[in-house]
Structure 1
Amino acid sequence: MSTHHTHNDLHSEQGALPGEHLGRATNPVIKVRDLAWLEFEKPDLEGAEIFGHAFGFATSYKDANELHLRGTLPGSPAVIIRRGAKSRFTGPAFLAADDSDLLRLADYLGVALTSLPENLGGLTVDTLDPSGARVRVVTGCHQLPALPRQTPLVHNFGGHVVRENATQRPLREPAKVERLGHVVLQSTRYQEALNWYLEHLGLIVSDFLYYDGQRAKGPTMSFIRCDRGSEPADHHTLAMTLGPSTRYVHSAYQVADLDALAAGGEFLKDAGYHRSWGIGRHIQGSQIFDYWRDDKGFLVEHFTDGDMFDNTLDPGWAPMTASGLAQWGPPASADFLGVKPGKESLAEARSILSALRKSDNEFDIARLRGLLKVANS
């Protein structure tokens, strides 16, 4: 008898139907522990650092061609930015449990173990997922020490008074990033890429979303967590969605509490940066969220109070709708949904035409109809 049970969350109360995706591999090659960091290229490292500090990162390493941004918790940097001719996301790095797992993965893939630069330390296995996106799996990296954290406020709730003769005055200052939480990627070969991450990295699905009226064609988005056994992990470390192009969607970084997130947002607004969507609370993952555009237009998220699941929960299933992205908060913005007129939406429109002409991807005319229905929901 299965020990797994479906989580009965708001708007995600249904589990899989017979024959649907189980959301995990039977015998994965390894089970990664977490996201280690994300890698980008940008032509302007100075502008990246200015935004990074306003967003709440600290600089852990910098030279003429490379910038490392970190949170307050001990570990590796959260973001690595290298100087490049244009701005682009170059891939995620996942943390292996130990050296033996990394060796097992290298042997399975038939690739070499290589040393990371001295400013990071450790070893990496570099490969490509079925979408062609570069993926790193690392171990043995230098561990940065903890930095002073932002202390969550003490709250009086109803008749339960814990704060007497004291006021609440959160400073309008950057919300100190504690750690990297997750990255969201879009793929034209979503189901193939999903299976690759489950089979090679041992990730497991927390929630599936499907286009309304197209459940029989399979899911089109998945929120995926690390399998740490009985130790709870973030509801999603990686999220993947089907789309007409393979690209970065957004990344998310944990802060102390709602006040840190909101006051940090006021600081970003005063500094002239653009809020994409927020503040609200998600359904899948339950995080309180606030989305911003960085100095080069990449979408980044402050979050707090996210769900933590162990490995006993099977996936929830729900239709994908724009209104179903949040329990409360403003409606999802055109900017967040990628339909605001501009370079990003124009590039996606070109990608739609290109994907529909090709047969080597999962984005067809039926999926286009489903995507347009999401945008109008």
Structure 2
Amino acid sequence: MKDAHTGLHSEQGALAGEHPGRAISPVVKVHDLAWLEFEKPDLDRAELFARAFGFAVALRTAGELHLRGTRAGAPCVLIRQGSRSRFLGPAFRAADRADLTRLADAAGGAVTDLPDHLGGQTVDLTDPSGLRVRVVAGTHDLAALTSPAPLVHNFGDEAPRINAAQRPPRAPATVQRAGHVVLQTTRFRRTLDWYLEHLGLIVSDFLYYAGQRERGPVMAFIRCDRGRTPTDHHTLAMALGPSDRYVHSAYQVADLDVLAAGGEYLLDRGYRRSWGIGRHIQGSQIFDYWRDPDGFLVEHFTDGDLFDSALEPGWAPMTASGLAQWGPPATKDFLGVKPGRQSITELRAIAGALREDNEFDLHRLRGLLKVAAS
């Protein structure tokens, strides 16, 4: 029997003339994801899920909720009271305040102060898909919180744990930090190039539709460029699709035991797993995906790849089976084809996108449908 993963791994490189995965002279090079911003109508409900997921609360007022991990730094997620649930956009951390001025000059924006409880300054930009993108500097750093001590493991012949049982608690999977956000856009190439040119991000892996490689990639896993300092395999991932929308965001936990026991804790409280547990191919993360009460997809991950700037992009076909090295098959919920409100919204988006002038045409739709069936 042929291995379903043969040929899917991203060690394959680019062909002559394909996208280089980086800009020659970007305006700035951001250092990391700072936070993500949302609006939700019920902050009590959002806080209840957030604590069960493993966040700590950094700030709670009548109209605002800030969620943090154990690492020192800014909050991971800012949630404001709103009439409906929606994703407002990501914030990236600049190397310094001077980068904000360079970005403002290049994009025709302005450097403005953030609220006192966050500190620092921001340049608010708009990417080609219409999403607000903040680049921030000088924000207040929250002090580190106590994080669970790592378990002592017996691996093969290495057995440091003697006369001691392993008893990881079934408790919230303590979030350490924000890892990445995944976005969908109808203007993939324009939006990808905007992030590379303005924020200095570089591509770790490209995916393309089988039989359509000559038309270019339809997904990119994109990391920060900090030279010889390793960074996450992707801080931002972007896929071509029939609508401009948030797909999911991911938050690091300490290890597999924390991730798995935290998942049992969520299940015990009636929350819905979308897909997992498994290990990805692009990025190698062990993952577990959940739907929050507002329908947003969020991920626990651990053991992800770290790349420095020397690695060039990998290229691989996009398939549903190629999303994981091991684990259960990708679910209909994760793929967005589960019958219900989500799939109806996606069908309407497809009909609308095909009537507009963008990169999502009938040829691309056929490629996407093959992915869902693969």
Mark yes or no: TM-score above 0.5: yes
Output aligned runs, 1:1-377, within 5 Å: 11-359=9-357, 361-377=358-374
Cα distance in 2, alignment partners of residues 186 and 159 from structure 1: 45
Per-residue CA deviation, residues 130-153 of structure 1 (Å, 9 max, x unaligned), is 000110000000000000012221
What one-letter code is carried by the residue in structure 2 that aligns with 1:250? H
Unaligned 5+ segments in structure 2 are: 1-6
Deviant stretches of 4+, over 6 Å: none
109-118 or 37-46, which deviates more: 109-118
Normalization by structure 1: what TM-score? 0.97
% identity of equivalent residues: 72
Cα distance in 1, alignment partners of residues 17 and 239 from structure 2: 21
Per-residue CA deviation, residues 270-310 of structure 1 (Å, 9 max, x unaligned), is 01000000000000000000000012110000000000000
What one-letter code is carried by the residue in structure 2 that aligns with 1:306? G
Normalization by structure 2: what TM-score? 0.98
- 1:10 shift after superposition: 6.6
Cα distance in 2, alignment partners of residues 302 and 152 from structure 1: 17
Cα distance in 2, alignment partners of residues 336 and 151 from structure 1: 32
Residue aligned with 1:370, SS: helix
- 1:13 shift after superposition: 2.4
Cα distance in 2, alignment partners of residues 165 and 63 from structure 1: 48
Cα distance in 2, alignment partners of residues 58 and 282 from structure 1: 27
Cα distance in 1, alignment partners of residues 73 and 34 from structure 2: 8
Cα distance in 1, alignment partners of residues 195 and 11 from structure 2: 25
Residue aligned with 2:265, SS: helix
Equivalent position of 2:4 in the other structure: none
| Paired positions, count | 368
Residue aligned with 1:313, SS: coil
Cα distance in 1, alignment partners of residues 239 and 299 from structure 2: 17
What one-letter code is carried by the residue in structure 1 that aligns with 2:277? I
Cα distance in 2, alignment partners of residues 294 and 315 from structure 1: 33
Cα distance in 2, alignment partners of residues 296 and 10 from structure 1: 34
- 1:164 shift after superposition: 0.7
Residue aligned with 2:26, SS: coil
Per-residue CA deviation, residues 195-226 of structure 1 (Å, 9 max, x unaligned), is 00000000000000000000000000000000
What one-letter code is carried by the residue in structure 2 that aligns with 1:204? I
Residue aligned with 1:125, SS: strand
Residue aligned with 2:345, SS: helix
What one-letter code is carried by the residue in structure 1 that aligns with 2:180? H
Q: Is the 8 A contact 2:8 2:317 kept in 1?
A: no
Residue aligned with 2:262, SS: helix
Cα distance in 1, alignment partners of residues 300 and 12 from structure 2: 29
- 1:112 shift after superposition: 1.0
Cα distance in 1, alignment partners of residues 117 and 270 from structure 2: 33
Q: Is the 8 A contact 2:123 2:135 kept in 1?
A: yes
- 1:367 shift after superposition: 0.2
Residue aligned with 2:192, SS: helix
Per-residue CA deviation, residues 4-51 of structure 1 (Å, 9 max, x unaligned), is xxxxx9712211100000000000000000000000000000000000
Residue aligned with 1:27, SS: coil
| Alignment root-mean-square deviation, CA | 0.8
Unaligned 5+ segments in structure 1 are: 1-8
Per-residue CA deviation, residues 71-91 of structure 1 (Å, 9 max, x unaligned), is 000000000000000000000
Cα distance in 2, alignment partners of residues 159 and 24 from structure 1: 44
What one-letter code is carried by the residue in structure 2 that aligns with 1:131? S
